Amino acid sequence: MKRKEFIKRSALLYTVLQLPLFSESVSEEETIPQTTVTESPWLEADDLSDFRVLLIQLQSDPREFKLSGNWSPGKVFAHCAQSIEYSLKGYPEIKSSLFRGSVGKVAFSIFAFKNKMNHGLEEPIPGAEDIANVTELKVGIKRLIQAIDDFSKAKESSLRPHFAYGDLTKEEYEVAHSLHIKNHMERVLT
């Protein structure tokens, strides 16, 4: 085995073993009680078109929509939109090709297999333009609907590599974006 291949495999194995995805233990951060809707339509959505329908509904009556955490709902929706926008125009910062081709691919595969993503829900996209926490809910909703529409019209050949997962097909990107939104919607309050 060549040295470079050995280093790649060792780094991948080490990183995979460090991922909390394989552990059922609860981290200190996860022990903070959160009231979430267990039968939320946001958690039942399967793809971006389902989320678009929910966003249109929410746009007409946003009064009762609340999320736990420090980010406002408007900022959360704008953040989700930002991720979709970057898949079309390119992410401002990307991980190394070694990371994207190993750890990133493994993480995406696990998320897709589990149909569930876990990520820092208040971490901005690396290098992304800051989104103000005072972003109004209707502004965030409108931006996310527009991003979903733009993504649905985009050709697969125009998609840019994900900052962590690397090159994704349009179908894989749809999964990644849907799981990303769904992960944020786990914080919907009852």
Task: Please name the amino acid found at residue 142.
Answer: K
Q: Is residue 11 part of a domain?
A: no
Q: Is residue 18 part of a domain?
A: no
120 — alpha (psi -120 to 50), left (phi > 0) or beta? Answer: beta
What are 166's strand-pairing partners? Answer: 162
Can you give the residue range of the structural domain that contains 178?
Answer: 41-189
- How much is the pLDDT for 9? 52
Instruction: Provide the 10 A C-beta neighbour count for residue 178.
Output: 21
Q: Is residue 122 part of a domain?
A: yes
Cβ atoms of residues 55 and 178 within 8 Å: no
For residues 31-63, one letter each, b for 16 or more C-beta atoms within 10 angstroms of the residue's C-beta and e for the rest, the string is: eeeeeeeeeeebeebeebebbbebbeebeeebe
Q: Is residue 36 part of a domain?
A: no
Q: Is residue 65 part of a domain?
A: yes
Total structural domains within the chain: 1
Q: Is residue 28 part of a domain?
A: no
Q: CA–CA separation, 126 vs 117, rounded Å?
A: 18
pLDDT in tens, the chain (190 residues): 554 554 555 445 445 444 554 434 334 344 334 444 457 899 999 999 999 999 999 999 888 889 999 999 999 999 999 999 999 999 999 999 999 999 999 999 999 999 999 998 999 999 999 999 999 999 999 999 999 999 999 999 999 999 999 999 999 999 999 999 999 999 988 5
Q: Is residue 88 part of a domain?
A: yes
Q: CA–CA separation, 172 vs 163, rounded Å?
A: 14
Task: Please name the amino acid found at residue 187.
Answer: R
57 — alpha (psi -120 to 50), left (phi > 0) or beta? Answer: alpha
| pTM for the full predicted model | 0.80
Q: Is residue 128 part of a domain?
A: yes
